[in-house]
Amino acid sequence: MNRAMLIVGIILLAIIAFGVINITQSYQTGNELDYYLLRETTEAAMTDAVDVGYYRLSGLVRMDKEKFVESFIRRFSQNVANSRTYDIGFYDINETPPKVSILVKSETAASINDESLGITNRIDAILETNYYNNIYVTNRTRAGELDYSEVDR
């Protein structure tokens, strides 16, 4: 009888350990995947939202806010898992210089007392470029052809 209870206790302990490991692994994997998805999606959406016409005319990098948000949400929704709900918050979007601050909250499938475990990731991204003087752009803006250099001032 003593050995039988010992075996039952070991089996119960193993089941509890596997459950805790499964919840922890799900939480950590979800956090890592959400972070890398957020980072890559932000970078791609910022690159998509660069106003190429403005850059050609003034030599300054500017990002379109609406285009960034549209591209970010489209790309993010194509790559997320359907097993969780996501809450995306845009806290700061600057057009010049291109800077964004995004907070993504998600909930895991695991729950304790009807409280699900939440994952929160925040990223601040600035789009940088090699700033150099483009002679062609400088000559066109000094000649008065489509001068947009004073728009942001």
Q: What pLDDT does residue 69 have?
A: 94
Q: What pLDDT does residue 40 have?
A: 92
Domain boundaries along the sequence of the chain: 2-142
Q: What pLDDT does residue 128 have?
A: 78
pLDDT tens, position by position, for the chain (153 residues)?
A: 688 888 888 888 888 888 877 776 666 666 778 888 899 999 999 988 988 888 777 777 889 999 999 999 999 988 887 777 889 999 989 988 889 999 998 876 666 666 767 788 899 999 876 656 556 555 555 555 555 555 555
DSSP string, the chain: -HHHHHHHHHHHHHHHHHHHHHHHHHHHHHHHHHHHHHHHHHHHHHHHTB-HHHHHHHS---B-HHHHHHHHHHHHHHHS-TTS-EEEEEEEEETTTTEEEEEEEEEEEEEETTEEEEEEEEEEEE--------HHHHHHHHTTSS--TTTT-
From first CA to last CA, the distance across the chain in angstroms is 85
Q: What pLDDT does residue 132 have?
A: 60
Distance between CA atoms of 33 and 43, rounded to whole angstroms?
Answer: 16
- Find how far residue 29's CA is from the centre of its chain: 16
Distance between CA atoms of 92 and 94, rounded to whole angstroms?
Answer: 7
Q: What pLDDT does residue 90 have?
A: 93
